[in-house]
Amino acid sequence: MEQKFTYEDFKIDVKQNHKMIIDEGIVKLQGSKIYPYIGDDQSINAKATRSAPDQYIITINEGVLKAIFSYSTEVLRPFYKIYHANLGVTEELFIRFVCGIMSDFIFWHELSHIARGHFKYLGIDQYDTSLGFNLDKISESRIVEIDADIFGASYLFLRVLSVINSGSIRAEDALCAYTVGIRSIFEILHIDNVLEDYNHRTNEHPHSQARAFNAYAFGVASPEIISYKKNILPYYQECAQQFFIDFESLALGNKFNIDAVAEIMPVDVDKWHSEKAVLDSLSIMSYEKRSMAEKRKSLFREITNKLRNLFFPPHYS
């Protein structure tokens, strides 16, 4: 009998994933260090804070993790039960993977605020000022949110591709988890009205849906990955699209407001595109190679995972 994936397991995963992204030098910043932290705050939010000239803290509220975990019980498990014939992973593995995608996306979103120079872009010089996950009505702030969604989703997609390449999971299963995870994290924001951008369109609330679609679309088609295995990428993108549509109709009851999304998305993308060159110039991403210590950590993790899979293989249904 397969062990049930618990909230405690989830919290351990979250800490390990964040540590891995930082320790293994997956994203490097010019002269800045990042410290991940899970805060006690029960509200559904996360933030990046500049705590010193060369230091940032990424805080994920415990409220986010709890919301993700309850969403997995209320929506993802029922979805798995009607959809598992299309998947090659057990329920526990699927739930664990999707929960990981959601919490990692939040982390990558915050990391993108830092790496893409958003503090400078918004003219935030003072320390202890945060950039969160929600949107407010200031238009520059809307652009950085979209930029963080796009880059966050792209980096996360690159990570998913590396998981596929490691051979530990079928490509289709990983792509389903990615798509469902991205769609779900924005659905959580959509349900939590406090975070919904009600200033954007006075009487409609589709903005999180537009953000979800945006993040998903850029994630699987961004310039960062476009040169990746040209022969297989179109198939991956097609799979992801089918999973998006299936999850929408089977789990969310087709309440996706496609007209509103079709109206909002081009406006948002145009605004973002017109500012992209400025944002690119403020980026503090560093393309220096990973250090020996970082590579060593990465190799040790890979070996440990391989051994774990050998002795405790994932159970395919």
Binding-site ranges for Zn ion (CB under 5 A)? 133, 145, 148
**Phi and psi at residue 147, to the nearest 5°:** -60, -45
CB atoms within 10 A of CB 237: 16
> Toward Zn ion, which CB reaches closer, 112 or 184?
112
**Shortest distance (Å) from residue 143 CB to Zn ion:** 11
> Toward Zn ion, which CB reaches closer, 142 or 159?
142
**Shortest distance (Å) from residue 129 CB to Zn ion:** 13
> Toward Zn ion, which CB reaches closer, 10 or 119?
119
> Toward Zn ion, which CB reaches closer, 145 or 187?
145
Handedness of CA 223, 228, 186, 14 (dihedral sign): negative
Would you give the end-to-end CA distance of the chain in angstroms? Answer: 12
> Toward Zn ion, which CB reaches closer, 100 or 132?
132
**Shortest distance (Å) from residue 185 CB to Zn ion:** 12
Please give the torsion angle defined by the CA atoms of residues 179, 184, 186 and 190, in that order, rounded to the nearest 10 degrees.
150
**Shortest distance (Å) from residue 223 CB to Zn ion:** 21
**Shortest distance (Å) from residue 207 CB to Zn ion:** 13
> Toward Zn ion, which CB reaches closer, 123 or 313?
123
Compute the 3-state secondary structure of the chain and give helix, strand, coil in percent, each to the nearest 5.
65, 10, 30
Please give the torsion angle defined by the CA atoms of residues 211, 28, 225 and 133, in that order, rounded to the nearest 10 degrees.
-10
**Phi and psi at residue 177, to the nearest 5°:** -60, -40
**Shortest distance (Å) from residue 51 CB to Zn ion:** 17
Burial zone of 206 (CB within 10 Å; 0-12 exposed, 13-18 middle, 19+ buried):
buried
Strand 46-52 and strand 130-132: pairing?
antiparallel
Burial zone of 299 (CB within 10 Å; 0-12 exposed, 13-18 middle, 19+ buried):
exposed
> Toward Zn ion, which CB reaches closer, 45 or 72?
45
**Shortest distance (Å) from residue 145 CB to Zn ion:** 5
Q: Would you list the DSSP string of 109-178?
A: HHHHHHHTTHHHHTT--STT-EEESS--S-HHHHHHHHHHHHHHHHHHHHHHHHHHHTTSS-HHHHHHHH
> Toward Zn ion, which CB reaches closer, 140 or 238?
140
**Which residue type is seen at 260?**
A
**Shortest distance (Å) from residue 174 CB to Zn ion:** 25
**Phi and psi at residue 36, to the nearest 5°:** -80, 150
